[in-house]
Structure 1
Amino acid sequence: MHTVFPHEIMAEHPPDPLALAEELERFPIFSGVSPAELQRLEVRKPRTPLRPGMTIFRQGDITPWVYLIRRGVVELVRTEPDKPPLRRQVREGQVLGRLELDAKEGQLGTAKAITQVELFAVSLESLARLRASHPEMESRFDRSDVIGQLRANPYLAPLEDIEIKWIADIVEVQRAEANIILRERKEPIFELVIVRQGRVRLEGEQEVHWVSAGAVFGYRDILANAPSRFRAVVESPTRYFLLPREDFLTIIARHPRHDWTSAPFAVEPLLRNVGIFQNLTLEDIRRLAGYGMRIHLHRPHHTLVVAGRENPYCYILARGAAMRQSITETGQTPSATIGPGAYFGENALLFRQAAEETVETLDATDWVRIHHADFLIFLNDHPEIEARLNLTPFQRQELEKIKKIESWQQEDERILFKSRRHWIVLARRLTYLLPFILFQLGLSAIYVLATRQRPLLWLELVIGALYLIPVGGWILIDYLNDYHIITTKRIIHHEKVPLIRDSRLTAPIDQIQNLDIRRTLISQLLRYGELVISTAATEGAIIFDYLPHPSIAHRIISQEMQRIRTYGLSRDLESRQRELQKRLHIGLEEKIDERALMETPPARLKRRPSPLPFLHLLGLQEGENRRLIWRRHWIGLIRITVPALVALLLSGGALALLATNAVLAEMPRNAQFLSMGLAILFSMASMFWFWWNWEDWKNDCYIVSDQIVERIYKKPLWFDEIRTTIPLERIQNVEFTRPNPLAYLLDYGNVDIQTAAQEGKITFEYVPAPAEVQFQILNRMQNYQRNLERQRQESQKKEVLEWLEAYYKLTASKEKA
């Protein structure tokens, strides 16, 4: 028997790139990869075909290559003491070897050629580069994610980690769109279906069931050696794995005591146990099962939710035990153990909020988990079910809120507090009508004194209505359109006079530094006050004036500030534990998708159309690297070019008049040349003036990127240029204003950006759609802060893990000694 190592079987020179690309295109793993990218792969080919019995690699060998079988059959065998061997055959078009690009681990088994074999060897390093260029194909080139997905599947929970890795190299990764039939009733079954994400309808002879992420079907028919008992129809875009029948039977043969004919748990009875679902019909529950995911957490001390962090899930415990810890006002953290059937996060289905307690697993556990967005899709798909939900009045109210959002609100943003000014403001403004009322009474008195007759009542009412109703209505509308708002992400002061003026001052909650409540004697008696919200901005503060019960808003903002800071300062122990587990090879890390479905949740409100699709019409354009570039609104261009355009028209008209008028012919020749020269010179000067203003408008721009905001004022040619750049991290407040009726009508205005830097405030002037500009700045600020926090945590985590890893190795070597 001959042992063949990679350096012995490889040709001295790689194959011809063009011919190689044609060969590699035939392999499913490279479907969709361009020939140019295939030519850049580092590939080797044996000098001669491998003879039967030759060993390609041995179990435990660490090889930097993965092998593509061009012709022939290779058998991969794994042997372990006191266990049946694992065997599988790798045939033409398939991949042989580990596809974990970032894990330098040995091969799972010994590979031997059964027949004469031709193969290509592709370096793992070049595959890693290809994976970086095609993240959508990651699961083809790197099975690390597939391993984590299989480890988190409840049906596969009895398998050992090495067995999970074994089948991860075997399964086919598939995707199907809605209405695709995966399986017909009574057809032979050749693969086990493992759903990763999506929704599938299983139609039996008498019943219909729905399954989603984490479900496995086809195992009972395979074990009974029978055809399919149901028809499987894809209802939404679905990702799934196919495990060949023979490999499934080989794996479960190593666990003869486990009952593989039964599901780990029944989802539908667990859903029925949740409070808000108790009034749903059996059909409703079955449909709901297609919107929740089944997950398995293989090791203990997995933190599901953390008190103070936003939790978008409802969890139902199916197997195992977990511990709940609640933080009380005294700071104590009493704990309670929960078992199968317990659930928490029920309100998260209706509205996203911070978790009130921390939940951590105590041993291996199985869960049913429903995401807030998937539940919204469920209600949108089946609106008749909403009326049957068992909701409290508060829950019903919150459910109505999530159906719509304000035009400025983000999808994951929830309004915590919204209040108009105190009624004393309306009363004070209505006193402006007092002079008009006195004027009318005076007219009535003069009329009585002059005629000694009382005017008709209806006439007085009509005269009064002519000015009192419009003015009073305007005052009321103005009062009703002003708001003080607190959300889970920011505080907002909104001033709006319809068709006249509109402004919105916004500051992220994590930028707030101080909160002060100011009251006078009268405001204390009438229970209103002034809440002063200070950031690090160099100019002014945000003031919630005439705010009813300001202590309530003060408390809400303080709680949100504490929640955000707690989230930011958290060391993310769960993530560190998993990373340490991976580094020290202590079990596999579960990889669980965020949601059960791949569909986008339904929009809660038809927003005002974004101007972004019409950037070129509004003087905007999209730059590279997700930059947005705003120029001033075209009204600003008209304002500066109209004088030059008028001068150009006058000079052009004068030139045309001189060229066609007989008066020019009667002038002396020198006068003719002088008149025409002056007209031409004036026309050229007017053209230059117009061009200068046009270029001046075009050169001035406002830029928002993922890291900075920038304002550029640049004169044409080589004259002055002023460029002001501010990192997103220095921005404190952002306010937009539509200053007048024309700005309101044409949707342009100013955006003031308050900073903590020396430059204080910069203004984007005459920008189109100023509300959208403000939205983009705030959105990118939040993404930037989130990325900074993630990088900071990763840096800290890496440092701590390196220390722990070194400690672990030293301890292990000491114990061996």
Structure 2
Amino acid sequence: MGDETSAVDLFGQMSLFNGLDTDQLAQIAEHTPTLVLSRNEIVYEQGSESDTFYIILSGHVQLIRAFHQAERSLGVLEDSDYFGQEALEPAQLRQTSAKAATDIVVLVFAADYIKELIERYPVLKKRFKIITDSFRFFLQLDFPWLGPRESIYYIGRRHIAYLIPRLILPGLMILLLLPLWISLYVSLHMLIFFYLILATALIGAAWVTWVAFDWSNDYSIITNRRVLFQEKIILIYDSRQEVPLDAVLADDVTTSQIGRWFDFGDLIIRTYTGAITLPGISMPSEVKVLLDNRRQRANIRAQRNKRQTIRSTIRQHLGIDEEMPTESSSEEAIKPTIHTGTLPNALSNLFMLRTEVNGVITYRTHWFILLSKVALPSLLLFLTLTLLIARLVNAVTFLSIPSTVLLCLLLFLIFGLWELYQYVDWSNDRYIITDRELIDVYKRPLGVEQKRTAPLENILSIDYERPNLIHLILNFGTVYIRIGEASLTFNNVFNPADVQREIFERFLSKKLQKQQQSDADDQRRLAEWLEIYHQEVTGPVAGEENPDDEEEENE
């Protein structure tokens, strides 16, 4: 009965069962068996039949996927998380393996029972579809920015209604021009119409393919830590906007009349500094419920941790031995692996675009910016050297050799100093990440140095963009950090996605340290209150004078 009651409470906290009353949740819990496993036991293996869907009642579950004879961890799930999504689709084999990372209790939903629930509560149909679609995207895509304890709960792209209008123009070109060229070629037998047929077919097919790929490359994502929108335009543009969950103030859904007919629209997430939009997603109202639930669960988890701290403090003060929960190995922080060896990374190391000393990370602007700065003085130095050689071999004779040598030495000095100035100007621009703050250093050679700083804990959102083909090929762009009403920009840094990830990880680490410090202060104050309460109840300790008695004696 205890598990059933706990299951009802758990269901009430999940977005999946949002809107169902307590009696309905109790009825679902009554028909849902539990499975208890010890740490390292296997829940199911990849490739096995999928006929059950699971919700974690307590403990942690690790998802693993075998790929090319190697295993890769897909993350660790915790209480109220779900897994086994393959059972939501017919005739699907397990795409992952699930293993108990700790002792676990999971609720087991048979596939037939899920169908029965959907028939009984139609609202669940949309929510299970969101779960299924997100899981399918999760297996198809790569997320190098995902943190070690970060879990994805929603992945979606724009509704197909956004794709169809963009296919009209290339479709009309193919449907109208192709028959015209074919009929002219058949009737006139002119070779030019044959080439027009080939050109129209190739251009039309390429256009349709480009539009389809462009539509499929944009994703809206919700994790247990942040909300983000990733946008890519093939060979042109790449950006990712994101905001931490605790910086979200409100979220709204906007739809057009067509959107209401076909159930799609924009989910607008508002923060202190503005908003980011998850555009054109299917079932936006249900995604809003999911996002609100993730925010509520983050608050519930924080309150639960605070209560646990208070309970531990009281038990320690009362002399009750308590085994403190230890972090499992699955929850240990995993440092990201940086792969080197490619030409862009080799050039990055050569120009020291990223250095780390004692935990302080320093970025410089990309080497392409340096090349663009020194291109003109380098060209002029080369032309000066060419002039000197040409005069020495008598290719040009409008000046005497001593005069040419003197002129070239003067030009070498001017252009060399110009090139040195540009290099120093490039090397003086630095972007620094410490454990406490972000620093933007801008210094002109022989000029004024400007330094802007911002505390990590004040970050509201982090975005990046690579605005054109050069930026995409060489993998550099600008990272935008919004802090209160101001903002910092890390301009033209190498691998902006990785810079964004490192800033976000430092932000989370600082936030965790601040929370731990706050909990420690609360614990210390609580211990003082308990000590005073204990003294008031039991009386003053022998040898100590009552403050009130001391005041009376002084009087």
TM-score (structure 2 length as normaliser): 0.69
Please give the per-residue CA displacement for 1:448-498, whole angstroms capped at 9, x wherever unaligned.
7x65x999x999975653222211111111111111111111111111133
Q: Which amino acid aligns with 1:429?
A: R
Please give the per-residue CA displacement for 1:659-686, whole angstroms capped at 9, x wherever unaligned.
665988995xxxx766544332221011
Higher helix share: 2
Please give the per-residue CA displacement for 1:562-589, whole angstroms capped at 9, x wherever unaligned.
11123334562222222333345x1333
Aligned to 1:507: 243
Aligned to 2:316: 582
Cα separation, partners in 2 of 1:399 and 1:415, compared to 1, 3 Å: farther
Q: Distance in 1 between matches of 2:23 and 2:56?
A: 13
Please give the per-residue CA displacement for 1:597-625, whole angstroms capped at 9, x wherever unaligned.
9999999xx98669999663353343444
Cα separation, partners in 2 of 1:519 and 1:684, compared to 1, 3 Å: same
The one of 430, 434, 445 aligned to 1:716 = 445
Which runs of 5 or more residues in structure 1 are unaligned?
A: 1-273, 275-302, 311-326, 360-369, 384-389
Cα separation, partners in 2 of 1:437 and 1:332, compared to 1, 3 Å: closer
Higher relative contact order (CA 8 A, sep 6+): 2
Aligned to 1:314: none
Cα separation, partners in 2 of 1:618 and 1:328, compared to 1, 3 Å: farther
**Is the contact between residue 376 and residue 602 of structure 1 (CA under 8 Å) also seen in structure 2?**
no
Which runs of 5 or more residues in structure 2 are unaligned?
A: 14-18, 45-53, 72-82, 89-93, 99-134, 547-555
Q: Answer yes or no: is 1:557 the counterpart of 2:291.
A: yes
Aligned to 2:490: 764
After TM superposition, the structure 1 stretch with the greater mean CA deviation from structure 2, 795-804 or 765-774, is 795-804
Q: Answer yes or no: is 1:486 the counterpart of 2:486.
A: no
The one of 628, 639, 657 aligned to 2:361 = 628
Cα separation, partners in 2 of 1:526 and 1:342, compared to 1, 3 Å: closer
**Is the contact between residue 610 and residue 772 of structure 1 (CA under 8 Å) also seen in structure 2?**
no
Which structure: larger Rg? 1
Please give the per-residue CA displacement for 1:541-566, whole angstroms capped at 9, x wherever unaligned.
21111111101210111011111123
Q: Answer yes or no: is 1:735 the counterpart of 2:473.
A: no
Q: Which amino acid aligns with 1:500?
A: I
Q: Is the partner of 1:517 in helix, strand or coil? A: strand
The one of 156, 159, 177 aligned to 1:422 = 159
Shift of 1:307: 6.5
Aligned to 1:794: 520
Q: Distance in 1 between matches of 2:481 and 2:538?
A: 56
Please give the per-residue CA displacement for 1:486-526, whole angstroms capped at 9, x wherever unaligned.
11111111111334322111111111111011112111112
Q: Distance in 2 between matches of 1:805 and 1:475?
A: 70
Please give the per-residue CA displacement for 1:255-304, whole angstroms capped at 9, x wherever unaligned.
xxxxxxxxxxxxxxxxxxx9xxxxxxxxxxxxxxxxxxxxxxxxxxxx9x
**Is the contact between residue 381 and residue 415 of structure 2 (CA under 8 Å) also seen in structure 1?**
yes
The one of 327, 346, 352 aligned to 1:619 = 352
**Is the contact between residue 514 and residue 534 of structure 1 (CA under 8 Å) also seen in structure 2?**
yes
Shift of 1:764: 1.4
Q: Answer yes or no: is 1:440 the counterpart of 2:173.
A: no
Q: Answer yes or no: is 1:477 the counterpart of 2:205.
A: no
Q: Distance in 2 between matches of 1:418 and 1:478?
A: 17
Q: Is the partner of 1:541 in helix, strand or coil? A: strand
**Is the contact between residue 363 and residue 493 of structure 2 (CA under 8 Å) also seen in structure 1?**
yes
Shift of 1:429: 0.8
Please give the per-residue CA displacement for 1:627-670, whole angstroms capped at 9, x wherever unaligned.
11110111111010111111222233434555665988995xxx
Shift of 1:797: 2.2
Aligned to 1:785: 511
Q: Distance in 2 between matches of 1:342 and 1:700?
A: 58
Aligned to 1:287: none
Cα separation, partners in 2 of 1:573 and 1:332, compared to 1, 3 Å: farther
The one of 263, 268, 274 aligned to 1:532 = 268
Aligned to 1:151: none
Aligned to 2:281: 547
Q: Which amino acid aligns with 1:727?
A: P
- In the TM superposition, 1:659-678 aligns within 5 A as 661=394, 667=400, 675-678=404-407
Q: Is the partner of 2:512 in helix, strand or coil? A: helix
Q: Distance in 2 between matches of 1:509 and 1:542?
A: 12
Please give the per-residue CA displacement for 1:71-104, whole angstroms capped at 9, x wherever unaligned.
xxxxxxxxxxxxxxxxxxxxxxxxxxxxxxxxxx
Aligned to 1:652: 385
Cα separation, partners in 2 of 1:564 and 1:711, compared to 1, 3 Å: same
Q: Is the partner of 1:530 in helix, strand or coil? A: strand
Q: Distance in 2 between matches of 1:469 and 1:732?
A: 43
**Is the contact between residue 377 and residue 602 of structure 1 (CA under 8 Å) also seen in structure 2?**
no
TM-score (structure 1 length as normaliser): 0.49
Q: Distance in 2 between matches of 1:478 and 1:720?
A: 45
**Is the contact between residue 182 and residue 194 of structure 2 (CA under 8 Å) also seen in structure 1?**
no
Q: Is the partner of 2:481 in helix, strand or coil? A: strand
Cα separation, partners in 2 of 1:815 and 1:680, compared to 1, 3 Å: closer
Cα separation, partners in 2 of 1:479 and 1:673, compared to 1, 3 Å: same
Q: Is the partner of 2:539 in helix, strand or coil? A: helix
Shift of 1:382: 12
The one of 417, 427, 434 aligned to 1:688 = 417
Q: Distance in 2 between matches of 1:577 and 1:332?
A: 33
Q: Distance in 2 between matches of 1:608 and 1:811?
A: 63
**Is the contact between residue 371 and residue 595 of structure 1 (CA under 8 Å) also seen in structure 2?**
no
Cα separation, partners in 2 of 1:593 and 1:800, compared to 1, 3 Å: closer
Q: Percent identity?
A: 25
Shift of 1:702: 1.0
Cα separation, partners in 2 of 1:555 and 1:644, compared to 1, 3 Å: same
Cα separation, partners in 2 of 1:682 and 1:376, compared to 1, 3 Å: same
Aligned to 2:472: 744
Q: Is the partner of 1:735 in helix, strand or coil? A: strand
**Is the contact between residue 580 and residue 805 of structure 1 (CA under 8 Å) also seen in structure 2?**
no
Q: Which amino acid aligns with 1:768?
A: F
Q: Is the partner of 1:531 in helix, strand or coil? A: strand
Aligned to 1:468: 204
Q: Is the partner of 2:320 in helix, strand or coil? A: coil
Please give the per-residue CA displacement for 1:299-323, whole angstroms capped at 9, x wherever unaligned.
xxxx9xx979x9xxxxxxxxxxxxx
The count of residues paired between Structure 1 and Structure 2 equals 457
The one of 398, 408, 426 aligned to 2:145 = 408
Q: Is the partner of 2:164 in helix, strand or coil? A: helix
Q: Which amino acid aligns with 1:628?
A: I
Cα separation, partners in 2 of 1:405 and 1:607, compared to 1, 3 Å: farther
